[in-house]
Every structure is written in structure tokens, then in C-alpha cells.
């Protein structure tokens, strides 16, 4: 038992939930109940070693959800569309309701901007719209919720973007023109959520953009060139071309990037606010400078 407030963290062995759980544990101000489908995994064992209460919970099981939320003071809720698909809204709604019914004073909901209405139905972004529906309902109902909108992860650059060219240089291809693209290190999400929890009711009903940098793609290429010491180029391609590339989730990624190009909703003020909440929020270049291991395989 502890006298520290107890935070439920869903997806605790994933990218977002793991970042939040690790930061809250490091802070020493919060106790963490880490929810995972597999408490025997290496990631779950690492959280246990850090002091988390790791519990087995499949969010699609209402009984398991009710048991996992008992006694929590706050929660971080993230759901994975790619595993839940059309069930995402239902699962997230039920989990949010259980958290609030358990008496949590703050629910931090990881969401994304609504895309169907904004694009006039032109872009298929179901991984946005289920989250956005819940976000709108919770806010309209006056729930003690703070919404966090995530940007694309810096960490995706080495794994999914950069390609070595025949002349030894590197390039990445995106359908984004020269429109600024919001991005953030997922490792900085934890401190940002910690600041949101510390703020408590002052931020209830608000949307916080988790963004560390807002640059045109060519500026990201220039930052990588400086950080890696090798030329990196940005190659713009039409949206229709990118959708047909043999890449994982190419159509979904193309639609997401086309949405941020056509309907940008992150501003310099959002970047400043995120850095105000988390003063250690890294720019893309400072992150690249601090994470050489992310690029080691590509540079060999």
C-alpha cells in the first residue's frame, strides 16, 4: 500500500503507455497500476522491477476492466486501433466509463483529431475517428478528462522513413509538400502527461497537443544531415503515389499525412504550450543528436 495517488495506465508495455508508466514511476509522486494483456512479458517484468503494480487485463473483457480500475485516482487511456479495429470506440468508451465510475479525478485520454467530417469523407482515418468520437462525448458530458493529441513519433524515422541511396546518401519519401509536420519523441509523452496530471482540474476539458517540433519535411532532412553527418534528402511524392507503395499501412499513413497537409491544426503556440508543460521537450534535432543508436543499423 502507498499514500501516493494511484494512476491506471493502459497499454503500459507499449510505446505511449510505457512512456507514461516509466515517467510516473521515476517521478516518485504517483503509484502506477500498469495494465497489460501479458504480465509475463519482458516489458511487464521491467515495470514490476521499477515498482509498478502490473495487472493482467484485456480491455475487451468488461469484468477484467472493472477489476483493474478499482481504487484508481487517475488514469491514462490509450487504445490501439490496429488490434481492435471497429471495436476500438466501444472498448475505449467502456474503459473510460469504468475509470470514471471508480472515482478517478482525472482521465487523460490519448486521442487524435476528427478526420471524417473535416475532410468531407474524403479520407479514411478510422484510427482517428473512434478516438475523436469518445473525446467529443467525454468533453460534452463534463467529465474530468484531458485530451492529448499525439503527433508522429520521431522514433519512426529510422525504422520507417530513411532509405540508403546508391551513392551512400539517405532520403525519405513523404506526400506532404512543404507543409509543416508536427512530430514528437514518444519518450517525451510521459513527462507531458505527468505535468497534465499535476495540473489536475485546471486542464479538465482541454486538449493538449503533444508536439516537440513543427517543421516542413525539408527542414527535418536538414536536421538529420547535421545530426548524422551524411546528406539526407526529402523527396515529395503525390498522395496517390504514396498510397500504392509497398510499405506497412501505406494507405493509412498516406491518408494521415494528407489530412495533416490539408487540415493542419497544430500551431507554434501548441509547441510552446507543450514545452511550457514539459520544459525538457526535445526538438527533432536534439532528439536525433541524443539517440545515435536509433540510426546505427542504417549507418553501418
Q: What is the pLDDT of residue 158?
A: 82
Residues of the chain where predicted confidence (pLDDT) is lower than 70: 1-2
279 burial via Cβ count (<10 Å: 0-12, 13-18, 19+): exposed
Q: What is the pLDDT of residue 216?
A: 97
pTM score, whole prediction = 0.95
Q: What is the pLDDT of residue 2?
A: 67
Q: What is the pLDDT of residue 297?
A: 87
Amino acid at each position: 500500500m502507498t499514500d501516493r495517488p494511484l494512476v491506471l495506465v493502459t497499454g503500459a508495455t507499449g510505446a505511449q503507455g510505457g512512456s507514461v508508466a516509466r515517467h510516473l514511476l521515476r517521478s516518485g509522486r504517483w503509484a502506477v497500476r500498469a495494465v497489460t494483456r501479458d504480465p509475463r512479458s519482458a516489458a511487464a517484468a521491467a515495470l514490476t522491477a521499477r515498482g509498478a503494480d502490473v495487472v493482467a487485463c484485456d480491455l475487451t473483457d468488461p469484468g477484467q476492466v472493472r477489476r483493474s480500475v478499482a481504487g484508481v485516482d487517475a488514469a491514462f487511456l490509450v487504445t490501439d486501433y490496429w488490434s481492435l479495429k471497429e471495436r476500438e470506440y466501444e472498448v475505449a468508451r467502456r474503459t473510460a466509463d469504468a475509470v470514471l465510475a471508480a472515482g478517478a479525478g482525472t482521465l487523460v485520454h490519448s486521442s487524435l483529431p476528427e478526420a471524417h467530417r473535416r475532410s468531407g469523407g474524403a479520407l479514411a482515418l478510422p484510427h482517428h475517428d473512434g478516438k475523436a468520437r469518445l473525446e467529443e462525448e467525454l468533453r460534452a458530458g463534463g467529465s474530468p478528462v484531458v485530451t492529448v493529441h499525439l503527433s508522429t513519433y520521431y522514433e519512426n524515422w529510422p525504422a520507417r522513413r530513411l532509405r540508403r541511396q546508391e551513392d551512400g546518401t539517405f532520403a525519405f519519401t513523404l506526400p506532404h509538400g512543404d507543409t509543416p509536420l508536427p512530430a514528437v519523441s514518444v519518450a517525451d509523452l510521459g513527462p507531458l502527461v505527468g505535468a497534465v496530471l499535476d495540473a489536475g482540474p485546471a486542464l479538465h476539458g482541454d486538449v493538449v497537443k503533444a508536439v516537440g517540433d513543427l517543421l516542413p519535411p525539408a527542414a527535418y532532412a536538414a536536421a538529420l544531415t547535421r545530426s548524422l553527418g551524411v546528406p539526407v534528402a526529402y523527396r515529395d511524392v503525390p498522395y496517390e503515389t504514396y498510397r500504392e507503395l509497398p510499405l506497412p499501412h501505406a494507405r493509412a499513413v498516406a491518408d494521415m499525412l494528407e489530412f495533416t497537409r490539408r487540415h493542419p491544426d497544430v500551431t507554434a503556440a501548441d509547441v510552446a504550450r507543450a514545452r511550457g508543460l514539459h520544459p525538457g521537450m526535445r526538438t527533432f534535432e536534439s532528439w536525433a543528436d541524443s539517440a545515435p543508436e536509433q540510426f546505427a543499423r542504417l549507418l553501418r
